[in-house]
Chain A
Amino acid sequence: MCSLAAPRVCFRCHPCLSSSRFEVRNNKLLPPGVYLRLKRKPEKRLERWFLKAGFWDSIASSILKNNNATETMVPPSTLHEEEEGEEPIPDQLLLADRSLSDGTQEQIIFSLTGDVDVHALQDLCDKVGWPRRPLSKVAVSLKNSFLVATLYSITKSPEGDEERKQLIGMARATSDQAFNATIWDVIVDPSYQGQGLGKALVQKLTRALLQRDIGNISLFADSKVVDFYKNLGFEADPEGIKGMFWHLPF
């Protein structure tokens, strides 16, 4: 019998013969309602963390230059430039900077550097009720992921002497680094949910993937969060194409 809480579907290598055996860890549950508009304002961007991602665009242009008419796939970064006059997603991005009621200053940072402490990640997974996984395997899975996006909360005490950094969200994408990417394990700390942080996390990750010329970004969503991803531009069963999972025979 699966000891894991519903509604999470679980899937492990144990002989769990219950019907819920598929694990898809995109469980960002946001109530419909008001989201903080986390539109990036130029003056808030911390200059010292800005990393130019023009490197990727230069690769794309060098590859494309001598293709003939049979080439049907266009790297998304060339299309993407038309939208919003967008700059590349930097490695670290300040999403929010606010004072809490007790006087502490809190900053929410989005990061693509991918250095995640697996113990912090395990604590986060415990908070949302996801099953634990062997830490060594988690470390390997993060290393083998093409992009790992994280949300950190940095709180400074009013006196300014103590600084606490806490992992409050993560999403990762695996990819062949040329055509396809799949987003897995989107997670936000329950006490930080409902503020639009999950949306920002997935949006920034998606944009970062597009800027690296990954044209096909996919994911597998629990039925409860399909609408969340629809609002972010994801389409379920496009043209009738279905997601299928392999299962152990009964």
Chain B
Amino acid sequence: MHSYISIRSPLLRSTILPLSLRRYITPRYTPTAVASLSISIPDSELSARGFSINYSTTNLDPSALNDVFASVGFPRRDTARLNLALSHSSGSLVWLSRTTDPTKPVAFARATGDGVFNAVVWDVVVDPSYQGIGLGKAVMERVIADLREKGIVNIALYAEPRVISFYRPLGFIPDPDGIKGMVYSRRNLQKKKR
């Protein structure tokens, strides 16, 4: 379990490593909860593998993002509206790029919300050529950590059936206490009217 690893390893490592390197290895802790902030692939390892971590939309190429959306089967978005959405992702925004190609996202996730109580995570994508190596997890963990640092603990998302098992190990539960995610559908309303 992740919490076990994060509690054990920094204690071991912090005694062995010189102070200068400790910053890179020790997982981040928040004042709200000491346990559980596990980052499975630390920042140092990601950069060693050639990925850069970005927390803002500077340098992000929206058409490259659209390409990634299309490659995983999401609809393409109008670029202007996409820029509008990205500028209003007041919850959190995390994306990875190859250090050699810094404007192209290979993994992406964003969260919207009111900044204090609730956040909903949208558009979690990993470029198909980079799937299966933990990038989606890396991005999600950082979004969650970022939200929790802001004090937001009510973090929700909508998951297609085939990715529910991706979100479970990250700490997400489907339909907790019978709470249902619902989406407005004009089709339903029209069916009712007839």
A residues whose Cβ falls under 8 Å from a Cβ of B: 9, 11, 13, 19-24, 63-64, 67, 70-73, 76, 79-80, 83, 133, 137, 140-142, 144-145, 172, 174-180, 182, 184, 206, 216-223, 226, 229-249
Complex Cα distance, B1 from A79, in Å, reads 48
Instruction: Determine whether the beta carbon of B183 is less than 8 Å from that of A234.
Output: yes
Instruction: Determine whether the beta carbon of B117 is less than 8 Å from that of A234.
Output: no
Instruction: Determine whether the beta carbon of A63 is less than 8 Å from that of B177.
Output: no
Is B71 in contact with chain A by the CB < 8 A criterion?
no
Complex Cα distance, B179 from A19, in Å, reads 13
- For B115, the chain A residues whose CB sits under 8 A away are 140-141, 144
Complex Cα distance, B78 from A140, in Å, reads 30
B164 interface neighbour in A137, A219, A234, A242, Cβ under 8 Å:
A242
Is B61 in contact with chain A by the CB < 8 A criterion?
no
Which among B19-27, B50-58, B127-135, B165-173 touches the partner chain?
B165-173
Do A22 and B77 contact each other (CB < 8 Å), given the known contacts A233-B184, A234-B184, A245-B154?
Answer: no
- For A242, the chain B residues whose CB sits under 8 A away are 158-159, 161, 164, 174-175, 181
B177 interface neighbour in A9, A76, A83, A238, Cβ under 8 Å:
A9
Complex Cα distance, B183 from A211, in Å, reads 17
Do A220 and B159 contact each other (CB < 8 Å), given the known contacts A180-B120, A182-B118?
Answer: no
A-B contact pairs, 18 of them (CB 8 A): A19-B177, A21-B176, A144-B116, A180-B120, A216-B184, A219-B181, A219-B182, A220-B156, A220-B180, A226-B182, A232-B189, A236-B182, A243-B174, A243-B175, A243-B180, A244-B167, A246-B144, A246-B171
Of the listed residues A23, A145, A241, the one surrounded by the most CB atoms of chain B closer than 10 A to its CB is A241
Residues in B69-110 with C-beta less than 8 Å from chain A: 70, 75-78, 80-82, 84-86, 88-90, 110
